[in-house]
Structure 1
């Protein structure tokens, strides 16, 4: 597939996906969904790619759905937004959350609506100081989709999640970091370098263990303590037999840098 609305680059074990509709604040169209799905498939099928970096071009990360891509007018026929969620947004969020690679999102500006929640679906979020997250659904009579109703209360707590979702007030990057909604807020001119450095770190790391860590933590909300302890036992048994574990211990004992094979 030839890409018109995104960019894909692979370097140093990192698959970098860039939303590229800057004139529309990288808002989603059907075409963008299809291209992004194709790019993620290429990444998943490439064993040389061991980490993913998602970002946007221009002054925004993603403004959510491009409303001009739908036919909506006062007095007109209703639109089946459930079909759009089921066909495009839900699969994208599931894919980012379960991707068998560490996924970093570098939020370079406004992340609104689905754009905010797609960013928060990634494993690690680094945001520029000027960035802000907006649950803009409140302004057009909708609910937070793209996993927003699930991730917001888990990251921000119910009171803050309700406030963000019902008022549509912007959550600035510094506050998002303070609340624990994102991993880190950095100066705008440092965002690209910090995100790329972390992606390279993950790509060179024990990615099998990193992916197991990500999935264990993501699934912990549905487990009891006993179930979590059993899961930890099973994963530690599996990872303890891996080449990466042997390499990590050997490198530590020999005081050298490890060379992990990862996934």
Structure 2
């Protein structure tokens, strides 16, 4: 993977790819370039077996303030509907790239995560936040509907009622409150944030990543199926899991009372 990006920083260490949105002067608000660079990184990471976990975070004081409105207004100066469609398609490609990653992806959240930045975080598998984090579906404040999958992810995480409340009222939620509601996996003190993210990422990177890919695929396919179909699907995926080297290693490690050494195979 190349590293000469302009609006994004990448770092690889011990199987973990850390992807940092790097526009701190505007609280990492999205530019067209940052969307394109993030998409390239996610699509490339999906094909790289050396990458066993991805962390998505933001530089400076925030995870992300949403769309850069100065750029958004400029794009709509001509044909507004056509420009909006193209703009959203770029976000959609990024969201699909995140969702299709075979390895786990963690959103590491500090400071504000607003609008599309929040919804990009919701597309990730796990979310860990510092206690200074603030979350808001800010779209209605400027007369827009939530995009970037907000209407898909929020109700599934919070339930329809609470999701609609957040979208209509643009209520700001703190890190501890987000953990209580189930919007994030864990909230930690800001002083412990970096260490907590590193520990979680390394734990996942050392795990049975082939199994993780199967679990992600199973859960994604199960969302729109009835119980009978899901049970049948489980059998198909379990047969694949039993055939992995990681399953064999996990069983042997259990029987031999030692830590497993997973290879992602």
The corresponding residue for 2:60 is 58
CA contact (8 A) 2:114 2:135 kept: yes
CA contact (8 A) 1:72 1:78 kept: no
Shift of 1:116: 0.4
The root-mean-square deviation of aligned C-alpha atoms, in Å, is 1.8
SS at match of 2:201: helix
**1-10 or 112-121: which moved more?**
1-10
Give the TM-score of the pair, scaled to structure 2.
0.94
The corresponding residue for 1:209 is 211
Matches within 5 A, 1:10-25: 10-25=12-27
CA contact (8 A) 1:124 1:182 kept: yes
The corresponding residue for 2:235 is 233
Give the TM-score of the pair, scaled to structure 1.
0.95
CA contact (8 A) 2:155 2:163 kept: yes
Moved over 4 A (4+): 72-77
Shift of 1:38: 2.2
Matches within 5 A, 1:1-263: 2-72=4-74, 78=80, 80-86=83-89, 88-263=90-265
Q: Describe the superposition over 1:141-166 as per-residue Cα deviations: whole angstroms up to 9, x where unpaired.
A: 11111110011111111111111001
For structure 2, the 5+ residue unaligned runs are none
Q: Describe the superposition over 1:189-246 as per-residue Cα deviations: whole angstroms up to 9, x where unpaired.
A: 2111111111111111100111211222233220110111011101111111111101
Q: Describe the superposition over 1:24-43 as per-residue Cα deviations: whole angstroms up to 9, x where unpaired.
A: 01011111112112222332
CA contact (8 A) 2:27 2:63 kept: yes
Q: Describe the superposition over 1:36-62 as per-residue Cα deviations: whole angstroms up to 9, x where unpaired.
A: 122223322322111101111111101
Shift of 1:67: 1.0
SS at match of 2:63: strand
Q: How many residues align?
A: 262
- Aligned mates of 1:76, 1:223 — CA distance in 2: 43
Shift of 1:96: 1.0
- Aligned mates of 2:213, 2:19 — CA distance in 1: 19
SS at match of 1:230: helix
Sort the Cα spacing of 1:136 and 1:252 in 2 relative to 1 into closer, same or farther, 3 A: same
